[in-house]
Amino acid sequence: MDLSSLTNTPGARKRAKRVGRGCGSGMGKTSCRGQKGQNARKGHKQKLGFEGGQMPLVRRLPKRGFNNARFRTETLAVNVETLEKLFNAGDEITLETLAAKGFKSAKRPIVKILAKGELTKKFVVKVPCSAAAKAKIEAVGGSVAGKA
């Protein structure tokens, strides 16, 4: 096999539609643009959603509800089972130590520890925790200094 033997598969390359090339082509005279008017003119592009001067659908429908997407703050949840895997007994868990382990992101600047999983090691936690996570940490002898 060499470059001279390569060919396209049938139907892979379709010829461009050449409009305005005589009536015999079936696309002559008005070049598939209909008769006269704004849309028949060269260079005309309609605005997205334009309905010929009629009040657009987007403006006809009522606005309802409230969207908090721009203002919400997303919380990064870290479970106690994750702390069990990543930290040694007696370690101090702060935002800096969590960030060093890869738990801080620009999208989710707030971190909270949740109670999923079992815990056997003692930690000194200085990060916000849920009430159940606080109870689990204190049950094994650890301490929580972060607010809930």
pLDDT of residue 38: 81
* Residue 11: both structure tokens together: 């139907």
CATH number at residue 110: 3.100.10.10
* Separation between Cα atoms, residue 80 and residue 69, nearest integer Å: 29
Would you say residue 3 lies in a domain? no
In a domain, 80, yes or no: yes
Q: Give the per-residue pLDDT at 79.
A: 92
| Residue 62 pLDDT | 93
The total number of structural domains in the chain stands at 1
Token duo for residue 146:
């972060």
Q: Cα Rg for the chain, rounded, in angstroms?
A: 33
Residues of the chain with pLDDT under 50: none
Asked if residue 109 belongs to a domain, the reply is: yes
Q: What is the pLDDT of residue 55?
A: 95
Domain extent for 96: 75-144
